[in-house]
């Protein structure tokens, strides 16, 4: 603990008390500032705000990386997407082709 008291032995009791009071006020002010900072950091609302800001920045970073991966692999993603679409639509496509074949075979002859 640092003291404001000078090393000079010619200090009266009154001056010593005044300096001690000043030192005590200074230390109390520093402690109050530290307590205020700690309360601000430990406040649940502030902790939630910090967590939201952290998760938001992580999500933005992940989204940016995902966009870059998608741009770099666009042809592959397109092929996979088209294949998935054709696989999902195979039933309707096969019915449509069958109906076209039936309509060709059911056309009346010109006789």
Numbers of helices and strands, H then E, in the chain? 4, 0
- Do 4 and 26 meet the contact criterion of CB atoms below 8 Å apart? yes
Per-residue pLDDT at 84: 95
pLDDT along the chain (111 residues), means of 10: 60 83 93 92 92 96 94 93 94 91 72 51
d(CA 17, CA 4): 11
User: 100: which 2 tokens?
Assistant: 């076209």
Per-residue pLDDT at 103: 83
Per-residue pLDDT at 6: 59
């Amino acid at each position: 603990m640092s003291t404001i008291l000078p090393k000079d032995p010619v200090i009266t009791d009154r001056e010593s008390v005044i300096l001690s009071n000043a030192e005590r006020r200074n230390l109390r002010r520093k402690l109050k500032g530290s307590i205020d900072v700690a309360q601000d950091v430990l406040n649940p609302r502030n902790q939630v705000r910090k967590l939201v800001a952290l998760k938001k920045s992580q999500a933005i970073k992940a989204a940016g990386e995902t966009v870059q991966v998608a741009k770099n692999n666009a042809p592959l993603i397109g092929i996979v997407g088209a294949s998935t679409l054709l696989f999902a639509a195979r039933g309707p496509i096969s019915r449509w082709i069958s109906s076209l074949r039936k309509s060709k075979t059911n056309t009346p002859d010109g006789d």
